[in-house]
Every structure is written in structure tokens, then in C-alpha cells.
């Protein structure tokens, strides 16, 4: 019995020591957190939020185009895009659909099947951002996060506008 008591006493002692040690550890943890927060702030400062303007222009099916036809964004940036339909031909509708390179025809074809109520835009997880169809003179704003570094395309899915209406987006790190 004595031996057991000693063991219990030892355990208590160890526990007390452990508790005593725990406090400085917490302090150390707090000290470690401070530099980490600074690192996060540094990263956020590099990836600045961006505001861009994209216009849809052209009065005939062969002239329709995005201006600008090329864009560059930084990965992870919060992008506020103003999209303007500057066409002045009645019924010249345009949208902006951002997709990875190589699936434009597939998305455009699926968009025609989706129909006008879906803004000629299919439900597809690969679409990074899409706007509704805009009529001539209409302007709207959308926000999205710039995707992983790589090459992308922005297309208009109004029937017949792809592949004439096609822009190239480069996302850098
Ligand atoms: Cu269009």
C-alpha cells in the first residue's frame, strides 16, 4: 500500500509539474502566432483586389468582340468586373462566361441547349464566372476570385457568337 501511495504522490507531482510547464508553452505559442499573422498580411498585400472593365462591341455577327481581347489577373485576387454591352444593334445580346481553355465549343453548344431562360449558359462546374445576357447599352458588375495560375478564355454564349466572341485570360502567380 505504501508503494501505491508513493506512486500516486509521484503522479500528482508529475501532474503539477506538467501544469507548471504548460503555462510557459502557451506563452510560446502566443509568441509564435504573432509572426504568422504578419506573414498572412504580407501575402494579402501582394494579391491586390482588382477592378476591370470589359466591353462587348460589334454590330454584326462577324464583328462581335470583347474589348479588351486579352486580360491578365493575379491568382487569388478578388476581381470586380464591370461588363458593358456597347453594341447598338437591336437584339445584339452578350454575356461573359469565363472557362478553362479548350472547352469553349462544348460550353457554347451546351449553352444553346440550355436556352434563353438560362442565359444560354449551361450549369457546368468548370465555369468560373458568368453573367446574364445583357441587352445593348446595359451594364452590370460581377465579382469573382481569380482562379489558379494558367490560361483561360472568356466567351459569349449567345448562339452564333462563339468562337468569334472570344477573349484570352492569363492568370499569373
Ligand atoms: Cu455576344
**In angstroms, how far is CA 173 from the centroid of its own chain?**
13
CATH for 50-172 is 2.60.40.420
Q: What is the pLDDT of residue 48?
A: 81
Spacing, Cα 100 to ligand 1 middle (Å): 18
Contact 40, 139 (CB under 8 A): no
Q: What is the pLDDT of residue 30?
A: 44
Residue 72 and residue 50: Cα distance in Å, rounded? Answer: 11
Angle among Cα 39, 41, 47 to the nearest 5 degrees reads: 110
- pTM of the entire structure? 0.73
Spacing, Cα 1 to ligand 1 middle (Å): 89
Higher pLDDT, 30 or 102: 102
Mean pLDDT confidence for 5-30: 42
Mean pLDDT confidence for 137-147: 97
**What is the SS3 assignment for 156?**
coil
Amino acid at each position: 500500500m505504501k508503494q501505491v501511495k508513493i506512486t500516486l504522490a509521484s503522479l500528482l507531482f508529475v501532474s503539477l509539474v506538467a501544469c507548471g510547464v504548460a503555462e510557459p508553452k502557451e506563452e510560446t505559442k502566443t509568441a509564435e502566432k504573432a509572426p504568422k499573422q504578419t506573414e498572412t498580411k504580407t501575402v494579402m498585400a501582394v494579391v491586390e483586389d482588382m477592378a476591370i472593365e470589359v466591353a462587348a462591341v460589334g454590330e454584326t455577327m462577324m464583328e462581335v468582340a470583347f474589348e479588351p481581347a486579352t486580360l491578365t489577373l493575379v491568382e487569388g485576387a478578388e476581381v470586380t468586373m464591370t461588363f458593358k454591352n456597347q453594341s447598338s444593334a437591336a437584339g445584339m445580346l452578350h454575356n461573359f462566361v469565363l472557362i478553362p481553355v479548350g472547352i469553349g465549343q462544348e460550353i457554347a453548344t451546351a449553352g444553346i441547349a440550355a436556352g434563353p431562360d438560362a442565359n444560354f449558359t449551361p450549369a457546368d462546374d468548370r465555369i468560373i464566372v458568368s453573367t446574364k445576357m445583357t441587352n445593348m447599352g446595359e451594364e452590370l458588375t460581377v465579382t469573382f476570385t481569380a482562379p489558379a495560375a494558367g490560361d483561360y478564355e472568356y466567351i459569349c454564349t449567345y448562339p452564333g457568337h462563339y468562337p468569334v466572341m472570344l477573349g484570352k485570360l492569363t492568370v499569373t502567380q
